[in-house]
A and B are shown apart, each in its own frame.
Chain A
Amino acid sequence: MKRITIILGLFCLSSAIFAQKYMTQSATLKFFSETPVENIEAVNNQVATVINADNGEIVYSLLIKAFVFEKALMQEHFNEKYMESETYPKSTFKGKIEDFNIDDLSEEAKEYKVKGELTIHGVTKEIETIAKLSKVEGKVKALSNFSVEVADYDIKIPSTVRDNIAKTIAIKIDAEYEKMGG
């Protein structure tokens, strides 16, 4: 009985210790809108994201107001009219990196399929993308490109600027995770 207890205890302990998480609060998310009229780019350098290295679960959370545009007026319109950031201050993603194993990662980037729920403007949609993951000096690096349809997230673009804003927005994520508590 004593032995069982100890084994069980060790097992529990090990699972808790090895529930490793990798985190950053300063990942970069950029998005691009390209139309014949103009190209628009916005940057958010304050994206918070965590990977659970045990099971490949990944989440991110960002503030809409933290996106910086080249033109201040665009930033105001983006917040006030399109994203309604007073009502919907955040965008989040909850998902899973498929077939993830922290020990498989090396300095050479590998491609993984990521599936999950992306919430923008209060609307949640399933998305699927490819992420390139690598591990350099104990840090997990992640790069991903995907795109979203503006209409999918119930974002209304007024007719006066319809030609200036693309219907499909390209998104680029660049994160460098550090081991938590390590």
Chain B
Amino acid sequence: MRKWAVNTCFSFCFLLTSFSAFAQDDLMQMLEAQEEEVTNYTFATFKTTRLVSGHSVETNAEGVLQFLIGHRFGRLNSGWRDLYGLDNSTVRLGFSYGITDDINIGIGRSSFGKTFDGTIKWRFLKQQSGATNFPFTATYVGASYVNTTEWPNPDRENYFSSRMSFHHSILIARKFGNSLSLQLMPTTVHRNLVETADDQNAIYAMGTGASVKITGSLRGNIEYYYIPEGQIESDIGGEAVRNSISVGVDLETGGHVFQLFLTNSRGMAEKFLVGETTGDWLNGDIHFGFNVSRVFTLKKPKEHR
């Protein structure tokens, strides 16, 4: 009986001392045991809110205003008199604002087609790992466009609604590791007024895009919109409508992102990419273009107020 008591007491002591020794030796382990697993949201899937001319899944954070200047020169094959397209440029100026980290609104005006646009963007799914897992990011983009060129046929009755078109896209993107991101962009463009009865008012297209990190501040991008045949029959300026293909790079400095690229599209919104792209890459109908994105923090995060 006595032996039993001694043994129990010793083993009890041993247990306690070993426990306290463990805690002293590895305070860090104890601290880490207390930590809860967190969800890691994937960030910087793309460098900015545009892949090239079309949207990427990225949104501006809450309180951030983005000023986006887009510029497309004329065609490289337009010859020396136009300095290979330099004389013949189109511009889009746009603002977009982060109402929340995931919901953005924007306005813009393109000189191409003298078109105003209003955009809403909602990132409704986020790629994440850790405590919770999800394999991709998904963003909805919807835009309304108003063409303000003079009526081509002022003698007939023209309706304001005929100036309008719309687009909806669901962007689905995944970042693979640190350097590759892929995106799918099922897109529909609705034109209230079309040239002939053979042209569909609603065009369905599938966009695909990729972005590859070259160095920390440099990325290569490609963007392609495929329009299944039979939807657009009319030519634009004597040229058939083609699929939009753009290849470019993102260059990042502190608060700016510069995007430089080659494209066969002149417009800088989905409405123009899908349905108004007429350049033929093989024929040299290639436009040099750039976007400059500058962000301004209008509302600071609560930690800094």
- Name, among B5, B20, B27, B38, the residue most crowded by chain A CB atoms within 10 Å (CB to CB): B27
Could you tell me if B253 and A161 are in contact, using CB atoms closer than 8 angstroms? yes
Interface membership of A134, Cβ < 8 A: no
Q: Which of A19, A49, A72, A160 contacts B24 (CB under 8 A)?
A: A19
Interface membership of A145, Cβ < 8 A: no
How many residues of chain A have a CB within 8 Å of chain B?
50
- Name, among A63, A71, A94, the residue most crowded by chain B CB atoms within 10 Å (CB to CB): A71
Contacts of B1-46 to chain A: CB distance below 8 A:
2, 5-6, 9-10, 12-14, 16-17, 19-20, 23-24, 27-28, 30-32, 34-35, 38, 40, 43-44
Interface membership of A164, Cβ < 8 A: yes
Interface membership of A68, Cβ < 8 A: yes
Interface membership of A113, Cβ < 8 A: no
Could you tell me if A43 and B34 are in contact, using CB atoms closer than 8 angstroms? no
Could you tell me if A70 and B304 are in contact, using CB atoms closer than 8 angstroms? yes
Closest A residue to B255 by beta carbon equals A73
The secondary-structure label for the interface of chain A is: mixed
Closest A residue to B63 by beta carbon equals A72
Interface membership of A57, Cβ < 8 A: yes
Interface membership of A86, Cβ < 8 A: yes
Report the Cα distance A8→B50, complex, angstroms.
Answer: 72
Report the Cα distance A86→B179, complex, angstroms.
Answer: 12
Binds B, one of A76-84, A103-111, A121-129, A167-175: A76-84
Report the Cα distance A77→B255, complex, angstroms.
Answer: 10
Contacts of B158-193 to chain A: CB distance below 8 A:
178
| Residues of the A chain whose Cβ atoms lie less than 8 Å from the Cβ of B43 | 76, 79-80
Report the Cα distance A71→B301, complex, angstroms.
Answer: 8
Q: Which of B217, B295, B301, B304 contacts A158 (CB under 8 A)?
A: B217
| Residues of the B chain whose Cβ atoms lie less than 8 Å from the Cβ of A23 | 31, 34
Closest A residue to B297 by beta carbon equals A71
* With known contacts A70-B300, A76-B43, A81–B217 Cβ distance under 8 A: yes
Q: Which of A52, A55, A160 contacts B254 (CB under 8 A)?
A: A160
Report the Cα distance A54→B20, complex, angstroms.
Answer: 11
Interface 1/0s, chain A 139-164, versus B by CB < 8 A? 00000000000000000101011001
Closest B residue to A12 by beta carbon equals B13
Could you tell me if A9 and B12 are in contact, using CB atoms closer than 8 angstroms? yes
* With known contacts A5-B9, A59-B31, A72–B2 Cβ distance under 8 A: no
Could you tell me if B44 and A9 are in contact, using CB atoms closer than 8 angstroms? no
Interface 1/0s, chain A 2-13, versus B by CB < 8 A? 100110110011
| Residues of the B chain whose Cβ atoms lie less than 8 Å from the Cβ of A1 | 6
| Residues of the A chain whose Cβ atoms lie less than 8 Å from the Cβ of B5 | 2, 5
| Residues of the B chain whose Cβ atoms lie less than 8 Å from the Cβ of A160 | 217, 253-254
Could you tell me if B31 and A158 are in contact, using CB atoms closer than 8 angstroms? no
Report the Cα distance A80→B295, complex, angstroms.
Answer: 18
* With known contacts A2-B2, A9-B12, A52–B297 Cβ distance under 8 A: no
| Residues of the A chain whose Cβ atoms lie less than 8 Å from the Cβ of B216 | 80-81, 156, 158
Report the Cα distance A63→B12, complex, angstroms.
Answer: 38
Contacts of A58-116 to chain B: CB distance below 8 A:
58-61, 63, 65, 68-73, 76-77, 79-81, 86, 89, 92, 94
Report the Cα distance A63→B131, complex, angstroms.
Answer: 14
| Residues of the A chain whose Cβ atoms lie less than 8 Å from the Cβ of B229 | none
Could you tell me if B24 and A65 are in contact, using CB atoms closer than 8 angstroms? no
Q: Which of B16, B24, B44 contacts A54 (CB under 8 A)?
A: B24
Interface membership of A130, Cβ < 8 A: no
| Residues of the B chain whose Cβ atoms lie less than 8 Å from the Cβ of A94 | 27-28
Report the Cα distance A6→B8, complex, angstroms.
Answer: 11
| Residues of the B chain whose Cβ atoms lie less than 8 Å from the Cβ of A5 | 5-6, 9-10
Closest 7 CB pairs of A and B: A72-B61, A12-B13, A16-B16, A68-B303, A19-B20, A43-B303, A160-B253
Would you list 7 pairs from A and B whose C-beta atoms are within 8 A, ordered by A residue?
A: A12-B17, A61-B32, A61-B35, A70-B304, A77-B252, A81-B217, A86-B178
Known: A9-B9, A73-B64. 17 other contacts (CB 8 A): A9-B12, A16-B19, A16-B20, A19-B24, A21-B23, A41-B304, A43-B304, A48-B34, A49-B31, A50-B30, A54-B24, A61-B35, A71-B297, A73-B295, A80-B216, A81-B217, A160-B253
Q: Name A residues whose Cβ lies closer than 8 Å to a Cβ of B.
A: 1-2, 5-6, 8-9, 12-13, 15-16, 19, 21, 23, 25, 41, 43, 45, 48-50, 52, 54-55, 57-61, 63, 65, 68-73, 76-77, 79-81, 86, 89, 92, 94, 156, 158, 160-161, 164
